[in-house]
Amino acid sequence: MKINLLAGLIIALPLVLVGCGKKDAPAQAASSEQTATTTSTEVTPEQQAAIDSLDKPNPEAIKVEGESASGDVAASAAN
């Protein structure tokens, strides 16, 4: 009986403490989000070049079965 009561208190106590806690943290989080958005919008030319190089697809990695990247299939079909 005492074990059940103790287990209930162990489960309920953190929930009560979180529910009754002060709500000052969201105000601080909102101010830190504003500073993060102002610094993250600045992209340097070097960063943009790295992003552009990653956005280009690699034609060798996207081969369709039966085709090659150099067009050998089209040349052999023409013969």
Largest interatomic CA distance in the chain:
89
Tokens for 1, please give them: 């009986």
pLDDT computed for residue 17 by the predictor: 86
H or E stretch covering 63: none
Within a 13 Å sphere around the CA of 66, how many CA atoms are in the beta-carbon half? 2
pLDDT computed for residue 45 by the predictor: 92
- pTM (2 d.p.): 0.27
pLDDT computed for residue 73 by the predictor: 52
CA-based nearest residue to 69, from 55, 59, 56: 59
pLDDT computed for residue 27 by the predictor: 58
- pLDDT < 70 positions in the chain: 23-40, 65-79
In the DSSP assignment, the letter for residue 21 is: S
